[in-house]
Chain A
Amino acid sequence: MNAPTVPDRKPAAPARRAGGRNLELPEHLKAYKGVWVFLEHDLGHVHSVSWELLGEARKLADKLGSDVAVAVLGGPDEPLEQFAAEAFGFGADKAYVMHDPVLLGYRNEPFTKGLTDLVNRYQPEILLLGATSMGRDLAGSVATTLATGLTADCTELNIDPASRALAATRPTFGGSLLCTIMTLAYRPQMATVRPRVMAMPQAQAGRAGEIVQETLGLVETAIVTKLLDFIADANSNRINLPYADVIVSGGKGLKNPENFRLVFELARVLGGEVGATRPCVQAGWVDAERQVGQTGKTVRPKLYIAAGISGAIQHRVGMESSDVIVAINTDANAPIFDFAHYGIVGNALQVLPALTQAFADHLALRGKAAA
Chain B
Amino acid sequence: MSAGPYTADEMMTVTAARQLADGAVCFVGIGLPSAACNLARRTHAPELVLIYESGTVGARPQVLPLSIGDGELAETAACVVSLPEVFAHYLQRGRVDVGFLSAAQIDRHGNLNTTVIGSYARPSVRLPGSGGAPEIAAHAREVLVIMKQSPRSFVPRLDFLTSCGYLGGAGERSRAGFPGGGPRAVITDFGILRPHPQTEELQLRAIYPGVTLDAVRAATGWPLRVAHDLQVLPAPQPADLDTLRALHAATRQAHAAAVRINLRTADAPASHPH
Q: Do A and B bind each other?
A: no
Question: Interface of A with B (CB < 8 Å)?
Answer: none
